[in-house]
Amino acid sequence: MAVTLRDFMSSGDVLTIEPSATLGEAARALRKRDVGAAVVVEGGAVVGIFTERDLLRAIADSRHPDVGQVQSYMTANPVTLPPDHSPSEAAQIMSERRFRHIPVMEGDELVGIVSIRDLMSAGLRIGSADAHMGTDFP
């Protein structure tokens, strides 16, 4: 049987956060779970993704952690993939689009999240010459 994202993704308890959450709440949630991304969910629907990169932009803008909100810095309508998708294609999308996370959706349901780290630790090669080790993939 073909190898799919289901074989590499983190599933079960994906970190989610509301768009109205503060930047501080988001930072604490990421730290507590020791992950780099949270899927932004509103009324049960996936509306965005918020990662440590977004937190960095908020800090650079001098946004206060108790005032600034996730919705101002998240990326709306993120790229998602179904669990039966090819892992190497997912890695290629991440490399080309320069992000490191893809929520995995089965229809409207969030079933997991896959990171570039998940795919790298699985030994897959990132097929792009402009992938910068240590910056894009710390």
Indicate whether 71 belongs to the interface with ligand AMP (CB under 6 A). Answer: no
Among 41, 47, 59, 79, binds ligand AMP (CB under 6 A): 79
Indicate whether 51 belongs to the interface with ligand AMP (CB under 6 A). Answer: yes
Candidates 16-24, 62-70, 100-108, 125-133 — which segment interacts with ligand AMP by CB under 6 A?
100-108
- 74 with 20: CB under 8 angstroms? no
Instruction: Determine phi and psi for 129, rounding to 5 degrees.
Output: -70, -20
Indicate whether 37 belongs to the interface with ligand AMP (CB under 6 A). Answer: yes
State the number of CA atoms in the 13 A half-sphere of 44 facing the CB.
3
Instruction: Determine phi and psi for 2, rounding to 5 degrees.
Output: -65, 145
Indicate whether 52 belongs to the interface with ligand AMP (CB under 6 A). Answer: yes
Q: Could you give the CA distance from residue 63 to residue 55 in angstroms, rounded to a whole number?
A: 9
How many residues in the shown chain lie near ligand AMP by CB under 6 A? 14
**Complex with ligand AMP: residue 63 or 101, whichever CB lies closer:** 101
Instruction: Determine phi and psi for 101, rounding to 5 degrees.
Output: -140, 145
Among 17, 85, 90, 100, binds ligand AMP (CB under 6 A): 100
- 39 with 113: CB under 8 angstroms? yes
**Complex with ligand AMP: residue 17 or 102, whichever CB lies closer:** 102
Q: Could you give the CA distance from residue 30 to residue 38 in angstroms, rounded to a whole number?
A: 7
Among 11, 75, 88, 128, binds ligand AMP (CB under 6 A): 75
Applying CB under 6 A, the residues found at the interface with ligand AMP are 36-37, 49, 51-54, 75, 78-79, 99-102
